[in-house]
Structure 1
Amino acid sequence: MDRRRLECFVALAEELHFGRAARRSGISQPGLSQQLRQLEEQMQVQLLHRSKRQVSMTRAGEVFLGEARKILRSMATAVELTRQTDDGLIGTLRVGTTPSALFITMPEILLRFHAVLPQVHVDVQQMTTDEQVVALRSGDIHVGLLHPPIDDGALRCDVLAELPFKVVLSEANPLAKKPSLTLADLAGETFILFPRGVGPHVHDHLIALCHNAGFSPRKIIEISPAQSIVAMAACNLGIGFVAAQVQHYDRAFATYRTLDSVTPRLRVAAAYPSQDAAPMAQQFVAIGAAALATYRPQEDKKPAESASTN
């Protein structure tokens, strides 16, 4: 049903005067009469009694007036909802995230995101970095929180947070007597790392740093998540690497030490299509950058190398 005809009918039904209704509708009186006539022909019912001196409602017109108002309100709501969806103000945002990014950054981002866009539902799916790249290409997710680098020209990757790694070790380990450690101090130690399949970049980067320091880890234990790394270190089964501050779990017998000189870092980035990204995804990234703008541990201000986990 034509919206313009409904608006003209409602104006005439409320004004009961062709001149006032025409001015309100922004058309001429003949144009208003034509709109009403076409509406009545379409419905095959008389809606108004009109003469040169008087306009009055028929019983059918009185009933239709209430329905016409409802239809116009529904149309206005549909238009507004469509515009808000196009602007990224409502709808569902599908976000992929690695386990580390979920723990490190998601609470800060989502609390602010929901405060700014309360009508957007966020569907969070846990994925590795590689899985997110595939899901972004296929459109299964709108944005991903992952660990760079990624090699895909169709995706943009904005770093949101960067945290230095610390060493977690048992209080019984002789190295615990030192206030800080170097990579060379770790020669001969068993390393407790995330499985390489989960975090190939951080795994390979840490091993490469050890080689640069003149040694290879005596043994590598692969385990996840970070709580398990801390627990294994507390058992004095080796030394582990965890992101500074946020992954410092309070566990008896476990202690943490900074690395001097070369300090690998864990980076969390937001990835999304470089072309035609969903407005909600763009707002998520912008809000995430603002939420994490001050999320920079102050304990390590020295130049550092970057690492990443999937």
Structure 2
Amino acid sequence: MGSQIRFDLRHLRAFIAVAESLHFKKASEALFITQPALSRLIKSLEDEVGAELFSRTTRQVTLSEAGRLFLAECQQAFTHIQRGVQLAQRAARGDIGRISIAYNDFSINSALPHLLEVFKEQQPAVTIDLTYMPSHVQVEALRNGEIDVGFLFGPLHEDGIDTLSLSTERTVVLLPKKHKLAHRRSIRMEDLRDEKFIIGSESGWKSFRSFVFDLCLKSGYIPQVVQEATSSTGILSLVAANMGISLYSESVRNFIRKDIAIVPVDSTHAAIETVAAWSAAYQSPSLRLFQHTMAQELARLRLAPQGAEPAA
């Protein structure tokens, strides 16, 4: 058991203010306290921590290595405290009647629309806030309590986040109609070794980019990326313009384009999973209702006769 902590939030706020501005006068003004009072707080904190957090000269203030490490943990602690306040406030008011949902490109063209339709029929009084958000951004938003549930690229294994697998789709190759591979029944990843790839940008498609690169690396090559796009529409347009080929989930068949060929990838590794994810720390009443709808629909689809129409 470590020694008892004898500093409080006042000390941490003072430390963060100085660490971010690296200027005692500016930090004291931002905190509305005198500079000597701020110096006393920092000295008291350093005594309790047992390390110098700043290197001071008459002209400059810099973070020591101990201070740099301490700052990262303090910032994370304040994030958790703020999130705890938000969750407590939501729990106190019941938080029923509204649910915030984030989605990525694949889910909005696959499982999510059907689930939203069923949920609205069952719970017409619950307001749904929908936000487009890349998969990797959703994870942080779930941790910070900014969204109730995310629909994102799976599988996802993150501490503090629970998931439910919603759908698994084949990966397909998008090709210009006149491409030499466009009339194949399936395409091996090895067949794409010399192709020019169009891929989603790092900012919006980070998770799927990793998946695509992994598929190519398993086939012995690094994809030659010649164009990047920020949206599904951009990817489709670049393929149609004969700028290259791309990979996508089979949900792309919901886009009707006569100038693009869609051919399944022949690979045991080429399955695209969509999962629903939420924080394990707190589920609002509205989220629990939505979870029930998801479980109900998944059970119905499993019991549906083979060949029955899947969730849209």
TM category, shorter: 0.5 to 0.7
Tell me the TM-score normalised to structure 2 length: 0.61
Looking at structure 1, the residues matched to 256 and 269 of structure 2 have their Cα atoms a distance apart, in angstroms, of 22
SS at match of 2:202: coil
Identity %: 25
User: Is 1:130 aligned to 2:136, yes or no?
Assistant: yes
Tell me the alpha carbon deviations over residues 5-58 of structure 1, each in whole angstroms, 9 at most, x when there is no partner. Answer: xxxxxxxxxxxxxxxxxxxxxxxxxxxxxxxxxxxxxxxxxxxxxxxxxxxxxx
> Partner of 2:191 in structure 1?
185
Tell me the alpha carbon deviations over residues 165-212 of structure 1, each in whole angstroms, 9 at most, x when there is no partner. Answer: 111101211112322211111111011111133222221222122122
> Partner of 1:47 in structure 2?
none
Looking at structure 1, the residues matched to 109 and 183 of structure 2 have their Cα atoms a distance apart, in angstroms, of 30
Tell me the alpha carbon deviations over residues 57-79 of structure 1, each in whole angstroms, 9 at most, x when there is no partner. Answer: xxxxxxxxxxxxxxxxxxxxxxx
Higher Cα Rg: structure 1 or 2? 1
After TM superposition, the runs of 4+ consecutive aligned structure 1 residues lying more than 6 A away are none
> Partner of 2:202 in structure 1?
196
User: Is 1:144 aligned to 2:132, yes or no?
Assistant: no
By how many angstroms is 1:137 displaced? 2.4
Looking at structure 2, the residues matched to 220 and 167 of structure 1 have their Cα atoms a distance apart, in angstroms, of 16
User: Which of residues 219, 228, 239 is equivalent to 1:233?
Assistant: 239
Report the residue type matching 1:217 in the other structure.
P
Looking at structure 1, the residues matched to 251 and 142 of structure 2 have their Cα atoms a distance apart, in angstroms, of 30
Looking at structure 1, the residues matched to 293 and 268 of structure 2 have their Cα atoms a distance apart, in angstroms, of 32
User: Is 1:118 aligned to 2:124, yes or no?
Assistant: yes
By how many angstroms is 1:120 displaced? 0.8
Looking at structure 2, the residues matched to 134 and 177 of structure 1 have their Cα atoms a distance apart, in angstroms, of 42
By how many angstroms is 1:281 displaced? 0.9
Tell me the TM-score normalised to structure 1 length: 0.61
> Partner of 2:278 in structure 1?
272
RMSD value over aligned CA atoms?
A: 2.6
Residue-pair matches, total: 212
User: Which of residues 157, 169, 176 is equivalent to 1:163?
Assistant: 169
Q: Which sections of structure 1, spanning at least 5 residues, go unmatched?
A: 1-84, 300-310
The answer as to whether partners of 2:198 and 2:229 remain within 8 angstroms in 1 is yes
By how many angstroms is 1:121 displaced? 0.9
SS at match of 1:160: strand
Looking at structure 1, the residues matched to 153 and 145 of structure 2 have their Cα atoms a distance apart, in angstroms, of 19
By how many angstroms is 1:255 displaced? 0.9
The answer as to whether partners of 1:163 and 1:266 remain within 8 angstroms in 2 is yes
> Partner of 2:218 in structure 1?
212
Report the residue type matching 2:225 in the other structure.
K
Report the residue type matching 1:229 in the other structure.
I
By how many angstroms is 1:154 displaced? 1.4
> Partner of 1:222 in structure 2?
228
